[in-house]
Chains A and B, each alone.
Chain A
Amino acid sequence: MSELHWMTAVEASRAFAAKTLSPVEYLSALLKRIDALDPKLHAFIRLDADAAMAAAKAAEAEIVAGRIRGPLHGVPVGVKDIIDVAGLPTTGHSKILVDNIAKTDAVVIQKLRQAGAIMIGKLSTHEFAIGGPSHDLPFPAARNPWNPDHHPGGSSSGSGSGVAAGLFPMALGTDTGGSVRNPASACGIVGLKPTYGLVSRRGVFPLSYTLDHVGPLTRTVADNALMLDTIAGYDPEDPGSAATQSCYFGRLLGRGVRDLRIGFVRHFHEKDMPAHPEVTAALEDVARVLQAEGAEVHSVTLPSLNEFSGINRVILGSEAWSIHAPWLRTRPGDYGKLARRRLMPGAFINAGDYVSSQRRRLQLIAAVEDVMRDYDVLMCASSMDPASNIHDDVETNRTYPRQARTPFNTTGHPAIAMMSGLASTGLPTSVQFVGRNFDEATVFRVAAAYERATNWASRKPPIG
């Protein structure tokens, strides 16, 4: 491969093991690209080049000595800036926490370090993973590498932008209402929201305790499975952690989709929230591709998007208010306008509505479980529109909530978003696959089959 920055983690790892590439050489190529492109993309809040290079040298010495820790040894990872990395500020992209130095690594960072991965820096986010894209914060908003005049999705905006631009092969994001899958959709990469409780949230600044998930963003499905293998696992100190055994999530990647039953939730994008015609056409293409690969695809019906998003908003608003109330009372001017507006609604939601929403949530979970009994995987839209111009507030406000991701934060099911095509504007369109709880392996299986059958993963943004 002539361009090192487009290597996947799997390719880099193989090259390290074969000693045809060193972690220092790889990181140096990425740092050069970051130097050239990040002034346009603003994926980073803080690049930690010196520490990353020291870690790359240490990884190189271990690999040369034959002590390979695993497939992420020597692989650089970007970290959304609501996740603690010891010694670095966790700012949440906010003036509120601009001097908040993390004392210890989040559990996901500990796991990545144990696997030999290299933390390359802290990445842009919407303020506290909710207020963005914004232009009144201490750091600039990240941009979309397919067109830097457009937003890259969010809230894991720097994670999506940087992975898509080849600044690093993988990144951590978080997903409370779709914040891993939105940047994956906007930037044409792969983003997974794992099953609730599969990945520890300890050391991650919370937005909504019962909706928050940590997940990987990568350019390929295989890399995504690899990262999940590393970060998944029971954490007795995370009250939401599930007592499951971590396993090899990529074990079905090569199996194809023959005889799998896929339920296509067409009403999300046809009736509940009519999608942009190019998004709709791309989704039908996805269904045709999977059928051609041997899957059975049938239309299925879930509760409406409005029901899911209403419940999600009451729960998220209430839980986020309980976290931010002390600062909103004393330092409202230290939030950006969007975060202030999006974090205060919980002050006006009563306790009864919150509890009633959690009760309705149980019914919604049951409704999805009922459908999933007959299907291996569901497919549906992710974003209803390609990413809008970041300075067009009217269009951004119109399109940002037009999505089908929040249902699966509400229910906890695993959901992956990936590229389904390119709109006539040159911006990516996307599809979402949803699995049974803790069956990420089958979600990856379908996503990998689609990836192999199309050439979207090989398309790169026209930047640099």
Chain B
Amino acid sequence: MIHSATKSGVTMDQQYLAALARSAGLEKALAEFPDDVAAAAAQALDTAGAVQFPTDPAVEPWPPMQAGIGL
């Protein structure tokens, strides 16, 4: 049984969670450590859900692409 509730109260549908895990290639982990997979998914949901992302399209990511640097 996969438990997918998160601290923030957001839940991930269990079938969706299993489908995501399989699409990430985690079939073996899902079979052997379903609680760990569910905990990881819950942590990801909690984390990404709590972050305020920029709304201004002009804000670029760090580090910037710099041609030739470090090659």
Contacts and interface: CB of A to CB of B under 8 A. Distances in A.
B61 A358 contact: yes
Chain A contact-residue range equals 35 or more
Given A325-B24, A328-B29, A357-B53, A363 B70 contact: no
B21 interface: yes
A241 interface: yes
Given A325-B24, A347-B20, A353-B48, A360 B53 contact: yes
A332 B53 contact: no
A310 interface: yes
Contacts of B43: 313, 317, 341-342, 345
Interface in B1-35: 20-21, 24-29, 32-33
A110 interface: no
A328 B26 contact: yes
B52 A344 contact: no
Contacts, number: 119
Chain B contact-residue range equals 20 to 34
Contact of A348 (B27, B41, B52, B59): B41
A344 B37 CA distance: 7
Interface in A366-387: none
B29 to A, nearest CB: 4
B23 to A, nearest CB: 9
B53 A347 contact: no
A329 B28 CA distance: 6
Contact of B28 (A313, A332, A361, A362): A332
Interface in A332-361: 332-333, 337, 340-350, 353, 355-361
A341 B61 contact: no
Given A317-B43, A332-B36, A348-B24, 13 more contacts: A240-B63, A328-B26, A332-B28, A337-B33, A341-B39, A342-B43, A344-B36, A345-B41, A347-B21, A348-B40, A349-B44, A359-B59, A360-B54
Give the 4 A-B residue pairs with the shortest CB-CB distance, closest first: A239-B70, A344-B40, A358-B61, A348-B44
24 contacts: A239-B70, A241-B70, A329-B26, A329-B28, A332-B29, A332-B33, A332-B36, A337-B36, A342-B43, A345-B40, A345-B43, A345-B47, A346-B44, A347-B20, A347-B24, A348-B41, A353-B51, A360-B51, A360-B54, A361-B61, A362-B59, A362-B60, A362-B61, A363-B54
